[in-house]
Chain A
Amino acid sequence: MHDIQTTDESGESNVEVPRAEQQQTADPGSAAPVGPTARDNEVSVTKLRLVGALLVLLKLGPVLILLVLVLVMSSLSPVFATSQNLGNVLSQSAVIAILAIGQLLVILTRGIDLSVGSTLALSSVVGATVFGSTGGGALTVAAMLGTGAAVGLVNGVVYVYGKLPHPFIITLATLSIARGLALGISDGQPIRNMPGIVTDIGGGSATWIASWLPNSAFLVALVAIMVSVFLSRVVWGRWIYAVGGNPEGARSLGIPRSAVLVSVYVCSGVLAGVAAIVTSGRLNAGSPTFGDLAELDAIAAVVIGGASFLGGRGFVSHALIGALMIGVIRNGMNLLNIEAYLQLIVIGVVIVLAVESDVVRGRLENRFRVMKGAAA
């Protein structure tokens, strides 16, 4: 485990270098042209605190944006903060959240999975077809998850062993292929009826707690906890960070890069299957048109939430916050009866804000280390 720790948050290991240099030049005994006086030190301590506080604020950026959104929506619409509407937001963002968690795993390795929306559609159609011909609930669920896993496996294997320059290419191909298969299998038609287990998970609510609480929220929580534990407590999970954050280091440590990469695409595929269960359950059908452009929502959620698009840094919480942000914006705008074009603009602006705040955070974090080094 200890050798893995060194690669932990490896995105930050790069900044160790300037810090060491700065320490040397700032050393009063060194040949630095201007040595820091006591007054300079005081200033830098104040500055240090300021930058530190700003940093905390920026790290919380996505959470704050979400909070502001919630406050604004609550003040504008009397029904926003009701339990029934909270249930709506949870059920409407469940699919994005599940897809985003899968996407996070891929993005952590510096990859991208464009196929998840189509995989969702294919998985729903396969599920509805299996249920239609066998009537088996468990078999339907297995078929849906299996379909997702299969598409993910193709993505991972072709990307890694086909030595493709970027996963964009193969997942763009499977985006097209999976949608085509879904249309072909279903004759372009929605297929009605899903087993009880699927409609319960996707469309049911936890009446034993509160009738407004959708079951899909528990599914999201379960997936989130499992992936979190996997990422933080399992060696393989740490390897995912290492492969994305510091590919060279990962190679020199002997991490099985190929297997790790394939595994994240399989996970993303399986989670697309899980998302298909939720969508199909909500609508009691499988349809080749499900999940249209859902991959973009998932990618947006991960990035808005605060994970790094360059790999190696990000948590499940980022994906969840991003998904909720998108959910809250859409739901709030519907409640307020706001024109659709504004929704699109707002989501775009939030993406830029969130990512820009992440860039600023990275810069400040660098500066902070430098200054801390200087102050020490």
Chain B
Amino acid sequence: MKRRTQILAALAASMTLMLAACGSDSSPGDKGSKDKKGDSVKIGFITKFPVDFYDTMVDAAKDWDSKESGATVVYAQGKSGTDDEGEIAAIQAMVTQQVDAIVITPTSPNVQDDLQKAVDAGIKVILVDNDIPDWDGKTSVVATDNLAGGKLAGKWLAENLPEGASIAVLQGVLGNPSLDARVTGMLESLGDAAKVVAKAPTDCDQTKGLDAAQDILTANPDVDAIYAACGPPLLGALEAIKSDGKEGKLITVGFDASPDELTAIAGGTESGSVAQFPAKMGSMGLQAALDAINGDDVSANIDTGTEMVTKDNVAEFQ
């Protein structure tokens, strides 16, 4: 119930933003002049869509907001992981609201132009969770170092796979730099420890992960391991492995350590997953924004860390 209220709150917030965007330049609650030292410092917090990962981030942001008296946070959210239009509308609404900084989990580099417009209007932009590598306008990127996360998975796989093993890779959304980095990083530290026999894109979709895994298991019945760049396709792959009668016999590593993945790891059907720390992204992202507004030095890259979750330490994450 709690989360549903949050979703409604987020909806209401974005509605308000829309209205504000259409309406006059002074929004209710705005205490007149924009004094950057006072508590009228306003930070926009835009996340992709209402799933657990971003909910955790928003929860942490609200927590930070309630403790930090020097700033007010306004929230907005898109409809899906690829909803560029929704995010662009949210960015525009934030600009109209004259926020001092925007903290955003960008859906893709497509939102870059509108973020640049915000920067041109004197707004600091902090990217959270995903980077837009070729864009210079950002103040800082607060994210999981996905390349490092991928390397963590690759290292673990190299240590745990038998000699001469073969592995299949379920990619995420092609063209999404942070998802691609999870694969690149894994392959880098996996090195020659295993042969990659198949690579399939899944759009981080559970059904597509199941379909791809079915096909991969058919074409390569001897495959020893499956690595997925996100959680949902790995969960789909687990179903394919199960109906192939090989439950628990393959080494399976995902990325996200979502609640369902943690259950699977605890139950022994999934070998491991790379955990990220979305709560840190929320609070550290906002802190970086406040520091930037106040003119303090902000590091260009703030790593929120990754950790390999396996059966041994899964209890700490559940």
Q: Which residues of A contact B236 (CB under 8 A)?
A: 283
Choose from B210, B216, B219 the contact partner of A77 (Cβ within 8 Å). B219
Q: How large is the interface on A (under 10, 10 to 19, 20 to 34, 35 or more residues)?
A: 35 or more
A241 partner residues in chain B, CB cutoff 8 A: none
Given A188-B51, A190-B260, does the pair A283, B214 have CB atoms closer than 8 Å?
Answer: no
B232 / chain A contacts, CB cutoff of 8 Å: 190, 289
Given the known inter-chain contacts A203-B239, A334-B200, please indicate yes or no for A91 contacting B214, CB distance below 8 A.
Answer: yes
Q: Say yes or no: is B205 at the interface (Cβ < 8 Å to chain A).
A: yes
Q: Shortest distance in angstroms between A240's beta carbon and chain B's nearest beta carbon? A: 30
* Chain A residues near B216 (CB-CB < 8 A): 334
A337 and B198 contact, Cβ closer than 8 Å, known pairs A85-B218, A188-B52, A283-B236:
yes
Contacts of A337 in B (CB 8 A): 198-200, 219
Output the residue of A85, A179, A189, A284 with the most chain B CB within 10 A. Answer: A189
- Give a binary string over A74-103; 1 marks a CB under 8 Å from any B CB, 0 the rest: 000101001011001001100100000000
In the complex, whether B211 has a CB less than 8 A from a CB of chain A is yes
Main secondary structure of the interface of B (DSSP, over half): helix
Contact call A190/B218, Cβ cutoff below 8 A: no
Chain A residues with CB below 8 A from B199, complex form: 337
Let me know if B259 is at the binding interface, CB within 8 A.
yes
- List residues of chain B with CB within 8 A of the CB of A287: 206
Interface size, B (range): 35 or more
Tell me if B214 and A340 are in contact (CB < 8 A): no
B117 within 8 A of A: no
Q: Mark B211-245, 1 if CB is under 8 A from A, else 0.
A: 11011101100000000000010011001000100
The yes or no answer to B201 lying at the interface (CB within 8 A) is yes
Task: Encode B1-18 as 1/0 by CB contact (under 8 A) with A.
Answer: 001100110000000000
Within 8 A of B (CB), among A36-90: 77, 79, 82, 84-85, 88
User: Residues of A contacting B55 with CB < 8 Å?
Assistant: 187-188
* Closest 9 pairs (CB-CB, A-B): A334-B215, A340-B201, A188-B50, A187-B3, A188-B51, A335-B219, A88-B214, A85-B218, A92-B211
Given A190-B260, A205-B243, A283-B235, 19 additional A-B pairs, CB 8 A = A79-B218, A85-B215, A85-B218, A88-B211, A91-B214, A92-B211, A92-B214, A183-B50, A184-B4, A187-B3, A188-B51, A189-B52, A190-B206, A282-B207, A285-B206, A290-B206, A292-B203, A334-B216, A337-B198
